[in-house]
Amino acid sequence: MSNMQEIDLVRCTLREANSQLQGEDATGAWIIRNPQGRHALAVGLNAPIDVVIDGQAGYYAGGMNKHANITIEGNAGPGVAENMMSGSTHVRGNASMAAGATGHGGLLVIDGDAGARCGISMKGIEIVVRGSVGHMSAFMAQSGTLVICGDAGEALGDSLYEAKIFVRGEVRSLGADCEEKDMTADDLAHLRSLLDRAGVSEYPADSFRLYGSARRLYHFHVDNAAAY
């Protein structure tokens, strides 16, 4: 795209790159060339701009994003889109651990697989993973939705609060207090719209199963001691 504003990390520092993107008055479309796995790329963005990271990103790419739409053309390191508030982050490759950790809002799409603890402690973010996720995903997830088109590793949804988890493939094991739920028409509609927004058309919504909190650990009780 010719009207993209270009930032080349071979020619400028991370600080210079981020400060150009972070202003509330930033506008338009941007491309970050030569990211070379740098950490903290495009963090703390504050305006509805489009940012393409043209390669691999290190830790915390797109951290604490508000409003911006970020696309990572390669793989992303740990904590991609951590604590995202709004906007979107699209990882074309795979994501490492803690993808979307503690996110409060917005949409995170991962075309490949995500590592361990995907969606850990999420607080309203919506995450769609086309591939599989690692162990302890959605650990202590508070609210929001995690959609896993592939398989889930061990202890999915451990100590879950009110977040919802949709899985199409195998679940290696469920964590404490996570159980399968019946899908309502609303759940199906929500899942359909998420798959649609993530550009996933190959999997029908009714091929997923829904998991949520059994809410047995919401209060301390002696009979739950073994679950803690």
Task: Determine the straight-line distance between the first and last CA of the chain, rounded to whole angstroms.
Answer: 53
Q: How far is the CB of 97 from another protein (least distance, A)?
A: 8
Beta bridge partners of 90: 71, 109
* 19 forms part of the interface with another protein (CB under 8 A): yes
Distance in Å, CB of 194 to another protein, minimum: 19
Q: Closest CB to another protein among 5 and 18?
A: 18
Maximum CA extent, the chain: 64
Q: Looking at 4, 14, 31, 176, which residue binds another protein (CB under 8 A)?
A: 14
Could you tell me which stretch among 15-23, 164-172, 189-197, 200-208 binds another protein (CB under 8 A)? 15-23
Q: Which helix (H) or strand (E) holds 80?
A: none
For residue 119 the two structure tokens come to: 């969606």
One character per residue 101-140, x = contact with another protein (rule: CB under 8 A)? xx-x------------x--xx-xx--------------xx
Q: Decide: 163 and 187 in contact? Cβ < 8 Å.
A: no
Q: Map residues 47-86 to x or -, x wherever contact with another protein holds by CB under 8 A.
A: -----------xxx--xx-x-----------xx--xx-x-
132/213 with CB nearer another protein: 213
| CB closer to another protein, 165 vs 205 | 165
Q: Strands across the sheet with 209-213, in order?
A: 5-8, 29-33, 50-53, 69-72, 88-91, 107-110, 123-129, 143-148, 164-167, 209-213, 178-181
Instruction: Report the site for another protein in 157-216 (rule: CB under 8 A).
Output: 159, 161-162
Identify the residue among 9, 30, 46, 160 touching another protein (CB under 8 A).
Answer: 46
Q: Which of 152, 148, 163, 150 is nearest to 195 (CA)?
A: 148
Q: Is 3 left (phi over 0), alpha (psi -120 to 50) or beta?
A: alpha
DSSP alpha helix (H) spans, 76-209? 185-197
Task: Give residues in contact with another protein (CB under 8 A).
Answer: 14-15, 18-19, 22, 39-40, 43-44, 46, 58-60, 63-64, 66, 78-79, 82-83, 85, 97-98, 101-102, 104, 117, 120-121, 123-124, 139-140, 142-143, 159, 161-162, 218-223, 225
